[in-house]
Structure 1
Amino acid sequence: MNAALRLLTVLGGSILLTAAAGWIVDLLLRRADARDPGTPLWHSLRRCRPALQIVLLAALLRAAYHQTAWRPLQEHQAAVGRALSLALIGAGAWLIVGVASAVVESGYARYATGTRDPARVRRVRTQVTLIMRVVTAVVAVVAVAAMLLTFPSFRALGTSVLASAGIIGIVAGVAAQSTLGNLFAGFQIAFGDMVRIGDTVVVAGEWGVVEDITLTFLAVRTWDERRITMPVSYFTTRPFENWSRGGVQMTGTVFLHCDHAAPVDLIREKVHEILNHCREWDGRGWDVAVTETTPSTMVVRAIVTAKDADDLWTVRCAVREQLIAWLSEKHPEALPRLVLAPTPGTEPAAGDPGGRWTKPGP
């Protein structure tokens, strides 16, 4: 058998075996998925088929390329073997990460389906996300190290590095102090249940929803679609507001500055009417009271409730807008006015015996 025929046999046979193995594995996963459609694991594992086929193909070629007796391969035997080894290591890492992701995501999906508590679901989602990133980072580091060890020059370098590992470790620890602090803070957030993906928080005076958590930073999406990226150590060293802790139901306030002559009882009735026509109000409670007075105005506070932060914002805006419009139309005297002292040549306006508002005289 000549060299060209051997090359075609080895290459073609490896490709056929790889394709057959991939088809068989995919067929088994499809049958398992059909028998148990409620388990997303089998469908997720089917996405690992390309990585599995590359691993099989690289392993078969790595084991059989010596038998080709093809001169170019024999002349570059070491380089070809190293390239196949690198492909095998890279595809193996890809396969491990894919399988781990499928298993973890399947477990999370089953947990989320069977749990009615949104806070627990967000907590598990945060932990799953961070666990997968840790697994991916560890596998990537091990794969890169294994690739480097295939080069003889790096083996010698590795020996010298191990000899001075103590000094390098001290230097790296000092240089990466901030990074390591964020890393441990990420684990503390994930498993300490301080903040979770989907929580509504107020940090640095900004209100938003936690959109992403990594081992080193946390992203908050604000109401105007901005993204605030902060180190995770911020949430372990400084106080912040988490509106999703202890349930998502919330109570909010609406403040209005009114004239002392404002009809508080009518305002109270109007607030109740506005809330009864507001779909976002959850009906848990409401109140209207005068909380403060100044020489020129009094402060009327309306308390409203809603099932979450988004609905609370809508309720507060609706009460504020409709109440001001109603006062402007029905009771304009209830709105604050600028008090001016009478000046020579002016007289009190009609309907203003106290002389708070003036108009020019004749």
Structure 2
Amino acid sequence: MDWQQAALYLWPIGIALAVGLTGWWLLMALTRRLKGREQRRARIGRVISRPMAFALPLLVLIPALEATPLQGHWLDQSLRLLHIGLTACVIWLLVRAVAAGEQAILRDHPMEVADNLEARRIQTQTRVLSRVLMGAIILVGVSLILLTFPMVRQIGTALLASAGIIGLVAGIAAKPVFGNLIAGLQIALTQPIRLDDVVIVEGEWGRVEEIGSSYVVVRIWDERRMVVPLTWFIEHPFQNWTRRSADLLGTAFLWLDYRAPIPAIRAELERICKGEALWDGRVCVTQVTETTEHTLQVRLLVSARNSGDAFDLRCIVRERMLDFLAREHPQALPRTRAELLQQPDPGLRGPRSQPAEDVRSPGAEDGAPAVVPAP
């Protein structure tokens, strides 16, 4: 072995590896030291240190390889691998930076407050836009890596030559992907739904638990999860109970007898509402909204701060109102009336009814003829 020739390779590469591994060890130690700290500088350091720890050895190896006698194909391939590694580290760093920015915004706007409408708006925009931005960074990075290969560049040139047909086929094939991407941007900007919104989707009541890059997760009231594509919320009508505010009106219907005391029911409803913390003090109304041949339909309208309180308040109003009516006004509860007729005693004779001959219609087929012919 020619040691003088080998030294021309070992010295530059050895020094680069020593510097790179030392820097890697220091940056990883810094990452472990900053773990668990919540200061802004510590969070920024955690985001940067790990990708830089892997990028530094690759970075110092590039001038080291150029300083060696390595030439031609081997040098080009080695430098290409190092550039691919550096590009991957840069993509990693940018994705971590976007994620850190998202976490900072979410941390500054918590939803665990009474009036979280503004926080939900900001969190929805941040989550959707950050995922779109991460996807774009990864897509651009992978494209740059692939373009370093001559074969891929040749394929790209051929595709551009037939961009019309290829673009049409690719557009049809990628319609769901791009449709969800555009729908995600529309939802982030116009916000028909937000995180923690109460919605009615396909007849199911639930809350928006997660808004991803291609789907929305709705947590149903019984702990089921409904996964809905983003495009569904753009193309179909749905109910959003917390679009402007969480305040909601709740109704409880009662079917009562016509003798129900409406003033007493109205006074009892006001008493129930004033004694309940779930009532927000806005609406407490008793109305007769329908009448049938047997009963009255009475609507008890109450208001609450959110849909959960409104549902519980409606149940309380029904229960206490029925208890009040059964205890104080049992005649108000619906009932079915029937009139019993006593059968007459055959031994008792009343006035004779009119003879059948006197009530027959003239010309009746089953009676005597109206005109008797002369003999």
TM-score, structure 2 length as denominator? 0.75
Question: Which is higher, the Rg of structure 1 or of structure 2?
Answer: 2
TM alignment of 1:118-129, pairs within 5 A? 118-129=116-127
Q: How many residues align?
A: 334
Partners in 1 of 2:42 and 2:342 — Cα distance? 90
235, 238, 243: which one aligns with 1:237: 235
Q: What's 2:52 paired with?
A: 52
Counterpart amino acid of 2:250?
G
Q: What's 1:297 paired with?
A: 295
Partners in 1 of 2:15 and 2:94 — Cα distance? 30
Q: What's 1:219 paired with?
A: 217
Partners in 2 of 1:18 and 1:344 — Cα distance? 106
Partners in 1 of 2:26 and 2:205 — Cα distance? 55
Matched, 1:64 2:64: yes
TM alignment of 1:189-200, pairs within 5 A? 189-200=187-198
- Do the aligned partners of residues 67 and 333 (structure 1) sit closer, same or farther apart at CA in structure 2, a change above 3 Å counting? farther
Superposed CA RMSD = 3.7
- Do the aligned partners of residues 142 and 178 (structure 1) sit closer, same or farther apart at CA in structure 2, a change above 3 Å counting? closer
Q: Find the residue that maps to 2:293 and give its secondary structure.
A: coil
Query: In the alignment, is the contact (CA less than 8 A) between 1:282 and 1:307 conserved in 2?
Result: yes
Q: Once the 2 structures are TM-superposed, how far is the Cα of residue 46 of structure 1 from its aligned partner? A: 1.9
CA deviations on 1:145-193 (whole Å, 9 max, x unpaired) are 2232343432332332232223211222233344433332222221123
Q: Once the 2 structures are TM-superposed, how far is the Cα of residue 96 of structure 1 from its aligned partner? A: 0.8
CA deviations on 1:106-129 (whole Å, 9 max, x unpaired) are 35544669x996323222211111
Q: What's 1:274 paired with?
A: 272
- Do the aligned partners of residues 25 and 86 (structure 1) sit closer, same or farther apart at CA in structure 2, a change above 3 Å counting? same
Percent identity, aligned pairs only?
Answer: 35
Q: What's 1:187 paired with?
A: 185
Query: In the alignment, is the contact (CA less than 8 A) between 1:10 and 1:68 conserved in 2?
Result: no
- Do the aligned partners of residues 48 and 336 (structure 1) sit closer, same or farther apart at CA in structure 2, a change above 3 Å counting? farther
TM alignment of 1:316-335, pairs within 5 A? 316-335=314-333
Matched, 1:15 2:21: yes
Q: What's 1:337 paired with?
A: 335
Q: Which runs of 5+ in 2 are unaligned?
A: 344-375
TM-score, structure 1 length as denominator? 0.77
Counterpart amino acid of 1:52?
M
CA deviations on 1:59-116 (whole Å, 9 max, x unpaired) are 234443577999xxx9987766555443322222110111133234435544669x99
Q: Find the residue that maps to 1:233 and give its secondary structure.
A: helix
CA deviations on 1:228-274 (whole Å, 9 max, x unpaired) are 22233333333322221232211111111122233333322332232
Partners in 1 of 2:32 and 2:66 — Cα distance? 30
Q: What's 2:353 paired with?
A: none
Partners in 2 of 1:270 and 1:337 — Cα distance? 22
Q: Find the residue that maps to 2:271 and give its secondary structure.
A: helix
Q: What's 2:373 paired with?
A: none
Q: What's 2:152 paired with?
A: 154
Q: Find the residue that maps to 2:237 and give its secondary structure.
A: coil
Counterpart amino acid of 1:237?
E
Partners in 1 of 2:209 and 2:29 — Cα distance? 38
